[in-house]
Amino acid sequence: METIRVGIIGAGGIAQYGHLPAYQKIPGVEVAAVADINEKKSAYVAERFGIPQRFVDYREMLEKANIDAVSICTPNYLHREMSVNALNAGKHVLCEKPVAVTGEDAEAIVAAAEASGKVFMAAFCQRFTGASRVLKKFIEEGKLGDIYYAKGSYIRRRGIPGLGGWFTTKSLSGGGCMLDIGVHVLDRVYWLMGAPEPVAVSGAVYQAFRDNAVDGGWPPLETRIGDVFVGINDVEDMASGYVQFANGATLVLEASWAGNCEPNSYLQLFGTKAGALEDARGLRIFGEEAGSLLDIEPLVDKEINVYEAEIAHFIDCIREGKQPLTTAREIINVAKIIEAVYLSANQNGRQVEISEL
């Protein structure tokens, strides 16, 4: 088995908590280099994870380090440039969510991936939960029938990440809670629905905690070495969206970083044969059999480390030349739906046609 050599771009919270430990658990994978503009942090991370080479400029890493693949773990506005440059340099790419701030960014990345012939995967880790896997199987086997209505919600009560840093600065993040955590639930529901063609979207955004915002503790404090959080907070802390698809299905989305509410995450699917609900109580399927209404509670693996599963899948795709679970079309449409939520919200909730983007 040939060793796969990986470089990490951006050595912050998700690199330290998700990517680095996951790569280092896989036999035949070596994290060979790390690049971060914050030298203090890359020095700490290189030492802690035993990474032999470190760089300030990721382009130098792409040029000089002997690596086959990169993980992109930087602020969102950098994902397009870094993905395209890494793919053009012949590297396989795993890019953190949200892959792109706009549909156009996503299309540029996908075009670079197709031209390079390298693996490009979006780090949508929520597809790897035990419940996601079980539910996808139920759907693929036709147990839910046609899914015509869905809801997805990711609600935090006090969970604004990196207040005053890039997360809360629109020019660096691209947006607030909808882009940051709404994208997780959108991607998962959209994938479970079978990725129908989105047609129109309306949305609303709110910033109720502009003056009394509290930092929610992500990135973990011990990963913030050398980071400065004295900037602005100009992004939404609550957002909702309504998506219509060409097959007639609709989706209601909600995301909140902060709200006077019970923290809560769930997804719900209405199918012609059965429905599904996943929330804090677990996964349940609501069907009908032999003339009786029937609730099924599938036993799902709750111990899966989603980052380990996601990164093992990325490495598998590289080794076996497989198409990753996240397809180009899904990546583009997820980016377009969120772009359309923001566009609609900025135009008093006007319904935005996806074809306008």
| Interacting residue ranges for ligand NAD, rule: CB under 6 A | 9-15, 35-38, 41, 58, 73-76, 78, 96-97, 123, 125, 162, 180, 219, 223
Residue from 166, 116, 124, 4 nearest 70 by CA? 4
Nearer to ligand NAD, 44 or 209 (CB): 44
What CA–CA distance (Å, rounded) separates 278 from 44?
39
What is d(CA 4, CA 89) in angstroms, rounded to the nearest whole number? 16
Q: Which residue is nearest to ligand NAD (CB)?
A: 12
Q: Give burial (CB, 10 Å; 0-12/13-18/19+) of 15.
A: buried
As measured in angstroms, the least distance from the Cβ of 73 to ligand NAD is 5
Which lies closer to ligand NAD via its Cβ, residue 15 or residue 328? 15
Coil, strand or helix at 126: helix
Q: Considering beta carbons, is residue 171 or 272 the nearer one to ligand NAD? A: 171
Q: Could you tell me the smallest distance in angstroms from the CB atom of residue 8 to ligand NAD? A: 9
Q: Nearer to ligand NAD by C-beta: 20 or 113? A: 20
* Tokens read off for 102: 């706009």
Q: Cβ distance 31 to 16 under 8 Å?
A: no
- In whole angstroms, give the CA distance from residue 75 to residue 162: 11
Q: Shortest gap between Cβ of 224 and ligand NAD (angstroms)? A: 7
- Cβ closer to ligand NAD: 147 or 235? 235
The helix (run of H) or strand (run of E) holding residue 264 is strand 264-271
CB 106 within 8 A of CB 247: no
Question: Smallest distance from the beta carbon of 15 to ligand NAD, in angstroms?
Answer: 6
How does 76-103 read in b/e, with b if 16+ C-beta sit within 10 Å? bbbbbbbbbbbbebebbbbbbbbbbbbb
- The least CB distance from residue 129 to ligand NAD, in Å, is 11
Minimum separation from the CB atom of position 37 to ligand NAD (A): 4
Nearer to ligand NAD by Cβ, of 97 and 313: the residue is: 97
